[in-house]
Every structure is written in C-alpha cells, then in structure tokens.
Chains A and B, each alone.
Chain A
C-alpha cells in the first residue's frame, strides 16, 4: 500500500504538469465545469455533461482558427457547497480557468458565487432553478430555467382551464417550497382556490397516505413537485393506485413530475398528467429532432435527452458564441456582457435569449400532456406561452428586500 501511495503521488504530479502545458501554436481557453458525477444524483450531472459534450463534438469548426477549448471537469459529489467552493477556488487559482460553468445545485452555486465575483470570472449556470440565483453575483448568467417560469404559469393555466379548486403536495425542501409558492401565486391570481397543502419529506417511500388525504379533499387539480427520478415514479404510482384520475383529480406539475427519461417506468398511470416545461424530448421542431437524433446516435438508441441535457447544450453554445465573438481572446467583462445579450433562436427547446436586466433566461414555456404515441409515453406539447421572463424577479424587483 505504501508503494502504491508513492506511485499515486508521482502520477498526480506528472498529470498536473502535463495538463499545464499546451502546444505552442494553439490558443487554449480553459473552461471549468463543476457538476455531480458521482453518488445518487450523478445521472443529472451526467445528462448536463452529455449535453455540453454533444454540442462540442457536433460543432468542431465553430471556434476561431487556432483556438482550442479545454473543459476542465470537477466532481462536486452532490449538494456539498464546501466541496464545490473548494473546487471552484482550485479551478480559478490552480488551473487558471477563464470561465466557470455547471451549476447543478443552488447551495453549491451560492457558495461559488462570491468567488466568481471576487475573481471576476463569468459563471454560466446550466441548471438550478431558484429564481434569486442570478442575483448572487453580477458574473452569473443562467441558461437553464427558473422554477417560477414553470410553476407560476402552470398555476395560471390550471385556473384558467376549468380547474379552480386545487391541492398541492410538494417535497419539503427549498425547491419544493419555491415551486409551491409559485404555483399558488399564479393559481390564485387567476381566480383559483387552494383547498389543501401538504409538504412531504424528501425521499418519501410511500405517497399513499398523503394522496389519500388529498382524495378526501376532492380538488380538481393536484400540483406536485418532487426532485424527479425514482421519487417522481413513486408519486405517479400512488396517484394511480388510489384511482385519483378517475375521481377527477388531474395531476399537474413542472417537468420534474414527469421527466422524459423516467416516463417509461411510470406505466399508464401517467397518461393525462399535465406539466409545464421549457423543454420536451418530444418537442416538434427541427432543431430538437436533430438534437434527439444525434443524442441517440451518441448515447444509445434507448437514451433520451431531458431538460438538464438541453441546459448543458445551450450553456456550451453560449460559451462557444462568446469565444467566437471575441476572436479567441477572452476578456472577462466583455464575455460577461456578451453573454448577457446572447440569444439562441434555434435551440432544441425553441427560441431563447438572455434578459440583459436580470442575466436570466427568457424562453417559451410549453404546457404538455402525457400521451401514448407509437406505444411510448411522451410529453406532448399542446400549448405555448411565449417569451416568458422569470415571474419571481418581476414580482420582487431588486432592492425591495425580496431576498431569499
């Protein structure tokens, strides 16, 4: 074990040395990406990473001549802000990255934000939907989404479509509470009444007791938010087991309720579930058809991109555009300003652009329904709310003490 340790030390020193040098005639732009590559939430980090890598592989000639992009990856191992902060510091001080990206968890982004400000490094956030994230640092630009974009407008839509009595059940953590607030605001503003509200602990095994209670309250719609993944399936299973759909309770929620890649596990109980999202794998536009086809080619015919993947894709697109616009010489402030005015009219998700005032994303929100198409369950978009700005920031302008 002792010799192995010595070998490891030598190897790591060599590797660091090798990484430091680059061929003399190419200019290398280092971009640091911090995601969760291990542990229970690795699938999200993997999806984001794949989206980013796919963009990189499909656009080899989009960078100016002689310019190379080096993606320095670090694993934050989960919602562990101390690790994320340390990794960010390492990337900035040791690796000398010119751009930071990733941004999977709000606590981690919050920890990194002051470093980005202090070092003056633009930070392109590819995921993480808490509305106030972009206010954490003037160097943060978000290409992902905000919880309020989804849930607030879903609330409005639900009340305006014949369902004026609703109950909510959300996972009891910051993102869940945020989503609940957004839905309730939009719903009540459009004339709806909230009948009951439940907060379920994270990683609840059995949703039946909670949904049993909902069933007795007899709402017309049930809003759910959960972290996605197996938890989403548990909710759908309980929803189906208790016959809530037959009892006239429509399940609604943001994309986490029916993630594209989890749909096949949910069975027919998911049919009819309404969700609001900025991206569906089944979205019918040319850019998305290409995106999904290339994804399947690269990652397997059974694989599907989801909204995390498209965040990675668009984040990389933004970075590429910024490098191109400056001819390969990155100036942090110019990059940040460029990113703040960036737009991608042809993203797989539809048209999107960054709001210069808030450095947050403006995009279409689609109302989708789960339907069986060609024997497969898909989120089929049937209504579009165009060019949505983040409602939370509009309701809480900066400087009015609406901090959270």
Chain B
C-alpha cells in the first residue's frame, strides 16, 4: 500500500473517531493505541533498518518504570513523566546499542534477549525501587497539562494516549520520509554497498536504535500512567515477542503496519480470550505460519493488493 497523505489522514481520523464509534471500549482502545506506538517504534528497527530483535520490551519497560517511579516519588505530572520515560529508555538504547549493533542475525537476537532478561532481573531484584514481582503500586497521576484529570470511564486516558500516538506518528513519518530514513532502508537492503558509498552506517543505525528506544519508552510511560501500575511483564521476552507479532501482522516497513497490527491483535486477543482462552496459542501459531507462507507483508500488503485489484489506487 503506497503511503499517501490521504492514508495518513485516515489513521489520525480513525484515532479520533474511535471513542464515538465504541464508547464502551475505551479501555481496549487505549491499550490498542499504546501498543500501536510501541509497535511503531519497533517498526523503525525491524521494518526500516532490517534489524530483528527480541528484546524491545527492555525499552518499553525502562520507560514504564522510569515514568512510574518519577510519578510516585517526584512529580505526578503526565507529560513530564513521558519525557522522563523516553529519556531513560533512550539512555538504555544508547548503552545497549553500543553493544548490540556490532552484530547481526543470530548474535543480535541473542544479545537482545540477554538485554531484556538482564533488565527484567534487575527490576525484579530492586524491590525497594520497583516493587519487584509485586509491581510498582500506588501511583496516582495528576491531571494532564494541569487540566484533564484521569476518569473511571477512561476517556481522558484514551484522548491523552491518542494525542501522543498522533504526535509520535508525525515524528515517525518525518523520520521515515527523510534522507535519514531512506538511508536506513538502503542499509537494510544492502549494508556493504552503503558502506562502500561512504554512508556512516554505524552512526545511522545507532541513531535509529536510540530513537526507536525512546519511542518505545514513551509508550511504556503511557502504559504506566494510564494503568497507574507497572509490573515485570512490561519488560519481558513474552512482550517483546508479542509486539513483534503485532508488527508483522500489520506488515513491517510499510508505515501503517503498527496501526493495523496492534488493534487487530488486541481485538482478537480480547475476543478469543473470552470465547476460547486455552487455544489462543494454537490460533496465533497458525496465523503466524499463514502470514509467513501466504502473506509476508502482513495486513498492509494484503490490503494494498486488494485495493489494487479493486482499481481504487491513486498513481
């Protein structure tokens, strides 16, 4: 599906329309929004840089814990918490990127797994700071921008998360459309050639890595603030795998993958968890196999092909 202004606008419109279409499902919607932001951050790494990792939850969790601890002990302002969460995750991205980015393929996967396991274990052990396995409790968020207090129905949570996602999308779009973004795709396609023409490959990748980490951290911070709780599952291998699946479901490197994959996955999970919880693994496993063999570009590619067949494309 070719990215266009129209489609970009559709994404933002969908975000705004959701509470009108499904007012009783704002909790679910907020979860979709946060995970879409998280998936988008992973897209930068996996889809555009071509670096497959299974440790992205380390940054999500870092942002969540940083924002949660900040709200609990320093200042419960939401926007300030986002900044803190993003910054903490970016710092972790800087440090771990220096270690991880020297490798590719299997080694990169192993190092990313090791990273998320180390962060999880540290969070587990520092009970005095993180609440350990019981989780970080007692967070009470102040009103957004000093005016909009979080309510039981979840309206403010949704609006807040949606605005952050929209802004994140604008940033993502700008990145991906820029020369920087194009060079990332070049690196993904043929790294040695990019070296040959003088592109500072390592610097580009490291920058992309840090930005991806920061975005993931902001998503984590959102989660901590909206749930007023942080638990160890925010920095787990399971979550890393789940977000990769969501991204792939939507389609990696195709701009809209996160926006399709996250909501569909969350919806399926919610629905199937109610009707048939024990076979959840089976359905997801089959779906993954189906995507790999029949629809490698995910929903984005599939919808794009559909659109082309219906002749509804703009040149």
Contact = CB atoms under 8 A, between A and B. Distances in A.
A and B touch in the complex (CB under 8 A): yes
Interface of A: 1-2, 5, 8, 12, 15, 37-38, 42, 73-75, 77-82, 85-86, 89-90, 93-94, 106-107, 110-111, 114-115, 118-119, 130, 172-175, 177, 201-202
Name the residue in B24, B27, B275 with the highest tally of chain A Cβ atoms < 10 Å from its Cβ: B27
Contacts of B125: 172
B28 A86 contact: yes
B111 to A, nearest CB: 20
Contacts of B231: 79-82, 107, 111
A173 B133 CA distance: 6
A2 B274 CA distance: 21
Contacts of A201: 121
Contacts of B285: none
A353 B24 CA distance: 39
Contacts of B275: 15
A105 to B, nearest CB: 9
B17 to A, nearest CB: 16
Interface in B213-227: 223, 227
B233 A75 contact: no
A115 B154 CA distance: 12
A275 to B, nearest CB: 22
A74 B152 contact: no
Interface in B138-185: 152-154
B10 interface: no
Contacts of A79: 133, 231-233
Nearest to B137: A110
* Among B134, B135, B268, B278: residue with most chain A CB under 10 A: B134
- For the complex of A and B, the 3 pairs showing the least CB-CB separation, nearest first, are A173-B133, A107-B135, A37-B277
A110 B27 contact: no
A173 B132 contact: yes
Nearest to A175: B133
B271 A12 contact: yes
A86 B134 contact: no
A90 B134 contact: no
B124 A75 contact: no
A107 B133 contact: yes
B229 A82 contact: yes
Residue of A37, A107, A172, A175 ringed by the most chain B CB atoms within 10 A: A107
A93 B152 CA distance: 9
A55 to B, nearest CB: 21
B271 A78 contact: no
Given A12-B271, A82-B227, A89-B27, A38 B233 contact: no
A1 B273 contact: no
A77 B236 CA distance: 14
A211 to B, nearest CB: 21
Contacts of B299: 1
Contacts of B228: 114
A236 B232 CA distance: 28
B115 to A, nearest CB: 17
Contact of B127 (A8, A89, A174): A174
A73 B137 CA distance: 25
Nearest to A119: B152
A168 to B, nearest CB: 17
Contacts of B295: 1
7 contacts: A8-B268, A15-B275, A38-B278, A42-B277, A80-B233, A110-B229, A177-B127
A173 B125 CA distance: 8
B306 A174 contact: no
A320 B24 CA distance: 30
Contacts of A77: 269, 273, 277
Contacts of B121: 201
B293 interface: no
A74 B274 contact: yes
B280 interface: yes
B73 to A, nearest CB: 15
A38 to B, nearest CB: 4
Contacts of B280: 38
Given A80-B231, A111-B135, A75 B271 contact: no
A1 B268 CA distance: 13
Q: Which of A1, A5, A8, A173 has the most CB of B within 10 A?
A: A1
A89 B28 CA distance: 10
A81 B273 CA distance: 16
Contacts of B233: 78-81
A85 B228 CA distance: 10
Contacts of B255: none
Contacts of A89: 27, 152, 154
Contact of A93 (B24, B134, B273, B277): B24
A15 B229 CA distance: 31
B223 A82 contact: yes
Contact of A81 (B229, B274, B277): B229
A131 to B, nearest CB: 12
Interface centre among B31, B234, B274 (most CB of A within 10 A): B274
A13 to B, nearest CB: 11
Contacts of A114: 228
Nearest to B24: A94
A8 B283 CA distance: 14
A130 B269 CA distance: 29
A110 B134 contact: yes
A111 B137 CA distance: 8
A81 B227 contact: yes
Contacts of B28: 86, 90
A38 B227 contact: no
A74 B27 CA distance: 15
